[in-house]
Amino acid sequence: MKLTEKWHDELWARDMWWSGKTTRRKFLGLSAAAAGAVGATMLVPAPWREAFGQAKPYKVGVLQPLTGAAAAGGKTALVGTQLATNRINKAGGINGRPIELVVADYESKPDVGRRKAEKLVVEDKVDVGEGGYLSNVCLACMPVFEEHKTVYMIGVCLDTTITTSKCNRYTFRPFDYAPSQAMAISPYLVKNLGKKWHIVFLDYAWGQSTRDAYIEQIKKNGGEIQGTTGIPLGTADMTAFISKITGSFDGLFAIMFGANAVTFTNQAYDLGLFKKAKYAGDGAVAESTHLAALGNKIEGFVGVNRYIPVLTKPLDTPYHKKFFDESKVLLKQMDPAGPDPDRYVQSNFEAMNFLKLGIQKSGFRGREDSMKLIEALEGMEVKESDDFPQGDKLLRREDHQAFLRQFIFDIKNVRHRLLDVVSRDKVVVPPACSFPKA
């Protein structure tokens, strides 16, 4: 069954929600339970009654593209949110209150995203917002959450400006961004793969800002940039662009994601580009969810990512094993091929857990306590645990940007293989944000 806004119909969510079918046995059971509950409520002292009365769910508004160009990624990202919610609710909720997800499909369009964000805060009256996949939609929705004084915990959007020039006090990014990734892998590229690099990037905002970050870091580490090639997003036949990649260089660095990455890798391989230069790039080129589509053409690729689905040291923890196994179950319900979890699952899972900790710490009751929640989240440090299987993290106070360790990996036998771990303190970029006055 595919994931939908009716996610509570999914197998894994059935024990969280009423199934919609009432049998006589269920009816009698529920009636007895209800009668017992009413009786118990009458017997318990008033303060306790009040406490029980507050057990209404926390409403979390989740924005994801479930249709349109980014649907596949959006559905994968939603798995992380749902997994975290399952766990929180099974453990009794937060401060005794369960989480209720209100999922909105923004059709991969910014205007729809903005309208849905408005619907979540105005009509559904959610307590906090979570999710987002496409950066342009996140940027379009951020002012809506800010206007309604609602905390927005982003789940995937990677555009640098979200926590720099366009930052706001209500938005948090609990995962990495391009400047950190560039700092992590550039020394490895120059030291182990070669000094001369050619960068191929998707020619739009994210690709361009990421390209600039890599150029800066490769040069800083003693490397050279022989040239750059921009390819328009969604180009089906990239051979004209790939043919222009000439000259002498040691490695080709790709800044791509999704179907574009699959197209580029396939066509560059067929044109023999990887025979003359080593192939490296952003981790999104080789996400586990589309490794099967790349086959052996991605063999030997070296990349950087905040999350890779391997269970070797230091990711051989029980926390990661549990996250990995539970994610696989949910992903298999979405895609019968049963892909491994990727960074989209991981970051949404951890985004929900940041919200959980923030709510616990601040005593957040609802949107009227947003500022308390913000203050609780600002500067929050978390340790590797069940809630954060990727590793330790700092959610920086100044710009609401998280810093975390990075993994350098290659692809061997169509699977990720961990090569190096870059610690969190080596990927810290100075803050470049000044929050507008609320």
Partner 1 sequence: MSTVARATGPSRGYWTGFVIVVAALAAAPFVLPEFWQRFATEILIWGLFAMSSDILIGYTGMVSFGHSAFFGLGMYGAAAALLAVRPPNLWLAMLVGLVAAAIVAAFVAFFSTRLRDIYFSITTLVFSQIFYVIIFTWTDVTGGENGLTFRQPPLGIPGLFTIPFTRNGLHWFVLGVVVVSYLVLRRITQSPFGMVLQSIRENEPRTRAIGYHVERYKIVSVMLSGLFAGLSGVLYAIQNKFAAPDFVLFLISGEAVIFNVMGGIGTLVGPVAGAAFFLLMKEVFSRVFYEYYLIPVGVIFTLMVIFVPQGLLGAWRRQLNR
Interface residues with partner 1 (CB under 8 A) are 2, 4-6, 66-67, 71, 105, 107, 109-111, 114-115, 118-119, 122-123, 135-136, 139-140, 142-143, 159, 161, 166, 203-206, 208-209, 230, 232-233
State in angstroms the smallest separation of the CB of 29 from partner 1: 31
State in angstroms the smallest separation of the CB of 27 from partner 1: 27
If we measure between CA atoms, which residue out of 281, 317, 315 comes closest to residue 418?
A: 315
State in angstroms the smallest separation of the CB of 107 from partner 1: 8
| Residue 146 or 250 with smaller CB distance to partner 1 | 146
Q: How far apart are CA 62 and CA 113, in angstroms?
A: 11
Give me the helix-helix angle, 318-334 and 343-362, nearest 10°: 120
Extended strands (E) in 271-363: 278-282, 302-305
* Angle at CA of residue 409, ends 408 and 413, nearest 5°: 180
State in angstroms the smallest separation of the CB of 8 from partner 1: 12
Q: How far apart are CA 225 and CA 177, in angstroms?
A: 21
Q: How far apart are CA 391 and CA 404, in angstroms?
A: 7
| Residue 233 or 394 with smaller CB distance to partner 1 | 233
Find where tokens 């989480």 sit: 99
Q: How far apart are CA 348 and CA 16, in angstroms?
A: 20
| Residue 123 or 425 with smaller CB distance to partner 1 | 123
State in angstroms the smallest separation of the CB of 219 from partner 1: 21
| Residue 204 or 319 with smaller CB distance to partner 1 | 204
State in angstroms the smallest separation of the CB of 254 from partner 1: 18
| Residue 38 or 122 with smaller CB distance to partner 1 | 122
Helix (H) / strand (E) element for 400: namely: none
If we measure between CA atoms, which residue out of 426, 395, 407 comes closest to residue 174?
A: 395
| Residue 70 or 351 with smaller CB distance to partner 1 | 70
State in angstroms the smallest separation of the CB of 82 from partner 1: 15
Instruction: Write out the two tokens for 61.
Output: 């508004």
| Residue 177 or 354 with smaller CB distance to partner 1 | 177
Centroid of chain to Cα 404: 13
